[in-house]
Amino acid sequence: MIVVMRHDATPDEVEAIRARLIDDGFRVHLSPGVERTIIGVIGENTERVYGVSAMAGVEQVVPVHRPYKLVSREFHPDPSVIHVGPVAVGGNRVVVMAGPCAVESREQVMEAAGVVNGLGLSVLRGGAYKPRTSPYSFQGMGVEGLKILAEARERYGLMIVTEAVDHESLRQVAEWADIVQVGARNMQNFELLKAVGQTAKPVLLKRGMSATIDEWLQAAEYIVAHGNPNVILCERGIRTYESKTRNTLDLSAIPVVKELSHLPIVIDPSHSTGHWNWVAPMARAAVAAGADGLIIEAHPDPSRALSDGPQSLNLPHLEELVHSLRTLAEVVGRTL
Amino acid sequence: MIVVMRHDATPDEVEAIRARLIDDGFRVHLSPGVERTIIGVIGENTERVYGVSAMAGVEQVVPVHRPYKLVSREFHPDPSVIHVGPVAVGGNRVVVMAGPCAVESREQVMEAAGVVNGLGLSVLRGGAYKPRTSPYSFQGMGVEGLKILAEARERYGLMIVTEAVDHESLRQVAEWADIVQVGARNMQNFELLKAVGQTAKPVLLKRGMSATIDEWLQAAEYIVAHGNPNVILCERGIRTYESKTRNTLDLSAIPVVKELSHLPIVIDPSHSTGHWNWVAPMARAAVAAGADGLIIEAHPDPSRALSDGPQSLNLPHLEELVHSLRTLAEVVGRTL
Amino acid sequence: MIVVMRHDATPDEVEAIRARLIDDGFRVHLSPGVERTIIGVIGENTERVYGVSAMAGVEQVVPVHRPYKLVSREFHPDPSVIHVGPVAVGGNRVVVMAGPCAVESREQVMEAAGVVNGLGLSVLRGGAYKPRTSPYSFQGMGVEGLKILAEARERYGLMIVTEAVDHESLRQVAEWADIVQVGARNMQNFELLKAVGQTAKPVLLKRGMSATIDEWLQAAEYIVAHGNPNVILCERGIRTYESKTRNTLDLSAIPVVKELSHLPIVIDPSHSTGHWNWVAPMARAAVAAGADGLIIEAHPDPSRALSDGPQSLNLPHLEELVHSLRTLAEVVGRTL
Amino acid sequence: MIVVMRHDATPDEVEAIRARLIDDGFRVHLSPGVERTIIGVIGENTERVYGVSAMAGVEQVVPVHRPYKLVSREFHPDPSVIHVGPVAVGGNRVVVMAGPCAVESREQVMEAAGVVNGLGLSVLRGGAYKPRTSPYSFQGMGVEGLKILAEARERYGLMIVTEAVDHESLRQVAEWADIVQVGARNMQNFELLKAVGQTAKPVLLKRGMSATIDEWLQAAEYIVAHGNPNVILCERGIRTYESKTRNTLDLSAIPVVKELSHLPIVIDPSHSTGHWNWVAPMARAAVAAGADGLIIEAHPDPSRALSDGPQSLNLPHLEELVHSLRTLAEVVGRTL
């Protein structure tokens, strides 16, 4: 940490900070500058240094260390590959996960699963527990939905990714599915993160709607620190002032995350754009930028979807997109 | 709802939308304009109308109804007063809640509680369960912390507000405290909202860091719809691009919320500014703008605080602020 | 400046940075830490240090100096008072500027000016050159408008504040008006800032819609550095994701600016909220937070205004607001 | 336009709005709903309808028409191709513009131009007039810089794109260069837009740092409405809360703009990311998403650049990127 003193800090104030930091067990380095004194602070648990902001003469405390460890490249220089049954996320293959926003019926899931399988994809998405902004919106089929997904897995050999929203749904999802999704709204639901960290299932951790990349990686750190190293990051659009799209897809997060962390990152072009006709260009852009996978909403009849119809591809459009992604993946040295 | 057709929508496309909406049980009103046709849609569960966005010829679906009901002024024109023991939030008195960010020790809480009580305030704040961005930060004292708060209530007759972060902590908080706080990061933890809705305790619902006012009121609607009408809204700063302050305090939310909803609103000038020296002007501004209360972090020794020291007032500064607020409240026709 | 090296920077990389900085005339201070080396850099024109970001082994360059000088408290510890004829902005009196968004006719301006004068206010606002988002919107009356404003000054002894949008309009505004307004959209029109810096007129510098406080103060620095020290800052709402209000009024900017700079700050509650019925509470909040003034849109018939009608107070509402502000100002130790 | 009345609007209030709108020459369509009345308004200059927001009983005025015309797909369904000498922007070829942020010397420009030409690119970028946030930063070489660029054009047959910042620099740029750049900070400098509209030169219009897509297209409309149809849009990152990148590159703007407008769109991956090592993945993503071009900062020695060194590619990295873009462009059916 670096403590920057005010330009008018007195020698006594500087000394008080120095003494306090030493008293707290830190080593300190004073750099008296022309305009202000800078104090470098070295030691463990440097978070405690922030407290001196409340003392006289301090202008700001500047962190220089990364606020996470286990998920960082510094700790683990090689990229992690997360294994989900036969599927490897973070390897050479770009993994496309597709399916409806919400599980609505056996027929709907089976129809989507058939197409997903026919396209050679290996992960089926579909929500059984739906965190909805309004209490009057469809809240999901719960365990019944999970059983339908499990049946699709059985029939088509697909891996299942689906969201858990609390301890109880996590117990069920961990039993019936292959990847536990933590939704954007729960990215800082730390009790859920801890619980997910205690399961053995791979986790798809969506970025919170206004989470910084540092906060997102700290959320991943919660899961890893509680015992589960199998975290897949998922960028799904951030909240900005622009309202043409539902959110603003932050594709720059791909190279940034790859520099900071060893965890794989997949992109959700459906929630971010909010419109099915903008999904395909953003999916292609994600692959070109180096994404390890995509998670795409597709529905047999989007206009009848109980959730997120406007942003769902119909199944022929999904097929068309997957074909175009295949050629693209090759050009950037991957397969799909 | 209003469906706005594309300028080049064909008569067949318009007819298909009309037929589909009637088929779904809505009444429709066509207004063919010079540039595009507008379809007014009347009926129940208009949320289903969004699905037509996926049909040909539709440009956008514009909602005209409020997405919440029980918390709206339309439903309940008079302001609600929430009773917390002898304290009324939303009445003439501006209710100031003060205390440390986190419960750290019996001594710390008792010292703060003594000052809070001595200033004639009636609600003590203090976190026993701390949702922290980093897994390595102090996570709170848990039930031990709640017992310390309960002791302060006993000794000083103060009401206690403290945060619950999941089902289990909610059970404890509902037992030991007087107001259950739902934190900004959990504003869209809908399972927690439902559970809080099933308790009888007043709830302090913080606005999510990037929640719109509509989403915040829908979160309140969750609680009320599940049985608990005693919701106090709390604005605590929203995330913007400006980084001098920790967040940007959105004081305009006061008149906006008062126009849309009957629920009381309190302001947190501590988390929003992130610096103790900016807390007092923002507290004064909040009262001048019509806030029903304030929640302020104060600590016997901010530089030693285990959480949020830089934004905590020391106790003499709290005293000074409360005195200035008292005169100010009178000028705007309130007491404190 | 502080250069933070990567955790895996080699000794050679550190040395290359050190040598380069010394070669560029800086003094450097190395602090080898447990996790990474930190290099303190002292000297003139430290902006050049940013270049080393492009060299191997550098993680980030952290500025520790303020990016402005003449407008800072460090340079000029006492608050500046800007004199506009008989009016002092930044002194004990809270200066209220009021009038229509745009000059539309002689009658409209005279009616507004009469009320403004009758309320004991001393500055009339009104736009003759209107920067409008659409090329098809009313673009202002130009010099004709300025002459109408000058007539109102003559008749009522009011000072005039009005916007300049380029060199030519600046020439005219400087001739006919008392305060030159630089609008939010021109806050980083540096050529205009330089030209304004070469006039002798007081300047009202609006904060850009997404300008940080640092960028705003640097814009002020442009004006002062080019010769004109008479800058009044004006916060008018920043762009955020919240859409209920036109912009989000950042009242925290008041204490922040007062800590960083000696320049006075006034608040525009009209453009920020965008709704006339939210103007009064925000005006009161601004005064309570320590604003040096307000600039408020008021119109004889807002529903007929050619610009910004929805956010304009009618004249009776203006009167009501001014009365309430008077009592409030006294409580915070000011007059109005 | 649609006027949505409040749920408690009286019949008299509805009638007053209706009468006022008819009086103003509009045709109106009343849809009395269960919860509130909706008034469809048809006619010319519908912007005037906003005024009724100031009348009793009105909840909101919802626009349904696009706020621009000449730049819209409705007006001009086929994509526009802008011709810059022998270069066509908006056609099948992805046009890559590259060069230093600022013109610093003849040698620097010639070295960069040689590489740009050697790579088969046809547009050289370089700023002679630099709008800088700080008055103390390098402000550009002015006309001298333009002459150096013109010499590079002469020698290598490259087209030149460079920024104009006011009337005078515009006159010079229009004389010496091939494309006039309007920078992000001037996107709503409407006087500059009008002046640019009166030249015959192609214009590169950068999106403002916090401009919505609608505002950006309205800025383009200014230029076209004043006589110059040759506008190339340029997305360069928008301001959000995320600070790892300098701005957040909004690649979704590509499909959105292509749906709304016939103008070509190019992407600036340098200013948006702010770090040279994230430029290549974002450039590739832009091409995959359908961008018509790229504008990339490249410098013979980024660490010595007087402006934006950290985000500039060195010349070998530029070469590497261009090669990878060539293969990618083919896969999406374009050339480069």
**What whole-number distance in Å separates Cα of residue A315 and Cα of residue A328?**
20
The verdict on A43 and A117 lying in the same domain is no
Q: Which tokens hold the place of C74? A: 């460090």
pLDDT, tens digit, for every residue of D37-81? 888 888 888 888 998 988 999 998 988 888 899 999 999 999 999
Question: Measured between alpha carbons, how far is D52 from D70 in angstroms, rounded to an integer?
Answer: 28
The helix (run of H) or strand (run of E) holding residue A234 is strand A231-235
- Strands B37-42 vs B231-235: parallel, antiparallel or unpaired: unpaired
**C230 and C147, same domain (yes or no):** yes
By C-alpha distance, which of C145, C140, C141, C98 is closest to C119? C98
Indicate yes or no: CB of A222 within 8 angstroms of CB of B166. Answer: no
Using DSSP bridges, classify how beta strands D265-267 and D231-235 pair: parallel, antiparallel or unpaired. parallel
In a domain, A77, yes or no: no
On whether residue D74 sits in a domain, the answer given is: no
- One domain for residues B43 and B96: no
User: What is the average pLDDT score of chain D?
Assistant: 95
Tens-digit pLDDT profile for residues A200-241 = 999 999 999 999 999 999 999 999 999 999 999 999 999 999
**Does B66 touch chain A if contact means CB atoms closer than 8 Å?**
no
**C211 conformational bin, left if phi > 0, alpha if psi -120 to 50, beta if neither:** beta
Contact residues, chain D, for B40 at CB < 8 Å: 31, 33, 38, 40
Question: What is the pLDDT, as a whole number, of residue C322?
Answer: 98
- Structural domain includes residue D70: no
| Domain closes at, from D62, D90, D114 | D62
pLDDT (tens digit per residue) in C3-20: 999 989 999 999 999 999
Chain B residue closest in CA terms to C277: B255
Select from D179, D261, D154 the least CA-distant residue to D217. Answer: D261
Point out the residue among D244, D284, D331 whose CB comes nearest to the CB of A289. D284
Nearest CA in chain A to D240: A240
Whether residues B152 and B205 fall in one domain: yes
Query: How many whole angstroms from its chain centre is CA B144?
Result: 27
Mean pLDDT (whole number) for A114-118: 97
Instruction: Give residue-wise pLDDT tens across range B253-305.
Output: 999 999 999 999 999 999 999 999 999 999 999 999 999 999 999 999 999 99
> Predicted confidence band at A64 (pLDDT cuts at 50, 70, 90)?
confident
A137 and A234 belong to one structural domain: yes
Q: Which two tokens stand for residue A35?
A: 């305009």
A71 occurs within a structural domain: no
Strands (E) in chain C, as ranges, are: 2-5, 27-32, 37-42, 58-62, 82-84, 87-89, 95-99, 123-125, 159-163, 179-182, 203-206, 231-235, 265-267, 293-297
Interface residue D132 vs chain C (CB under 8 A):
yes
CB contact under 8 A, D7 and B239: no
The CATH number assigned to the domain holding B114 equals 3.20.20.70
- What would the pLDDT profile of A165-175 be if each residue is shown by its tens digit? 999 999 999 99
For residue A62, pLDDT beyond 90: no
The answer to whether residue B104 sits within a structural domain is yes
The pLDDT value given to residue D307: 86
CA proximity to C131, closest of A150, D192, B162, D117 = D192
Residues D212 and D296 both lie in one domain: yes
ipTM above 0.90, yes or no: yes
On the question of pLDDT at C43 being above 90, the answer is no
d(CA C35, nearest CA chain B) in Å: 18
Say what the alpha-carbon torsion angle A279, A283, A289, A294 is, to the nearest 10 degrees.
120
Q: Residue D33 maps to which CATH number?
A: 3.30.70.1140
Nearest CB to D215; choose among C50, C68, C133: C133
Q: Is the pLDDT of residue A35 over 80?
A: no
Domain holding B269, by residue range, is 82-331
Local confidence band at C97 (pLDDT 50, 70, 90 cut-offs):
very high
Mean of all residue pLDDT scores within chain A: 95
- Chain C nearest-CA distance from D227, in A, is 12
Task: Judge: C54–D165 Cβ closer than 8 Å, yes or no.
Answer: no
pLDDT at C179: 98
Number of compact structural domains in chain B: 2
pLDDT number for residue A31: 81
Tell which of A94, A252, A277 to mutate to test the D interface (max D CBs under 10 Å): A252
Helix C167-176 and helix C190-197, axial crossing angle in degrees, nearest 10: 30
B68 falls within a domain: no
Do B288 and B254 have their domain in common?
yes
Look at residue C121 and tell me if it is in a domain: yes
Residues D57 and D140 in one domain: no
Give the pLDDT band (50/70/90) at residue C21.
very high
Place of tokens 């750290």: B104
State whether A124 and A251 are in the same domain: yes
The helix (run of H) or strand (run of E) holding residue D180 is strand D179-182
| Beta carbons of C322 and C119 less than 8 angstroms apart | yes
Q: Is residue B77 part of a domain?
A: no
pTM, to two decimals = 0.95
D308 or C322, greater pLDDT: C322
- On chain A, the residues whose CB falls within 8 A of the CB of B53 are 275, 303, 309-310
Within the 71-110 window of chain D, which residues sit less than 8 Å (CB to CB) from chain C? none
Q: Find chain B residues with C-beta within 8 A of A188's C-beta.
A: 131, 133, 185-186
* Closest listed residue to residue D36, CA positions, set D68, D69, D11: D11
**Lookup: tokens for A39:** 């104090």
Asked if A234 and A290 sit in the same domain, the reply is: yes
CA separation for the pair A320, D196 (Å, rounded): 42
Helix (H/G/I), strand (E/B), else coil: C64: coil
Asked if A240 has any chain B CB less than 8 Å from its own CB, the reply is no
Q: C with D: how many residue pairs have Cβ under 8 Å apart? A: 129
How close does chain B come to D31, measured CA to CA in Å? Answer: 7
Nearest CB to C2 within list A38, A65, A239:
A38
Per-residue model confidence as pLDDT tens digits over D280-315:
999 999 999 999 999 999 999 999 998 888 999 999
Statement to judge: residues B50 and B107 lie in one domain = no
- Which of D31, D66, D73, D256 is the best residue to mutate to test the B interface, defined by the most B CB atoms within 10 Å of its own CB? D31
Inspect the interface and report whether the beta carbons of B190 and A131 lie closer than 8 Å. yes
At C99-131, the pLDDT tens digits run 999 999 999 999 999 999 999 999 999 999 999
Do D37 and D87 lie in one domain? The reply is no
Best residue in C26, C27, C36, C38 to probe A by mutation, most A CBs within 10 Å? C38
- The rounded distance, in Å, linking the Cα atoms of A320 and C158 is 68
Contact D65/B29, CB-based, under 8 Å? no
Q: Three-class SS of residue B312?
A: coil
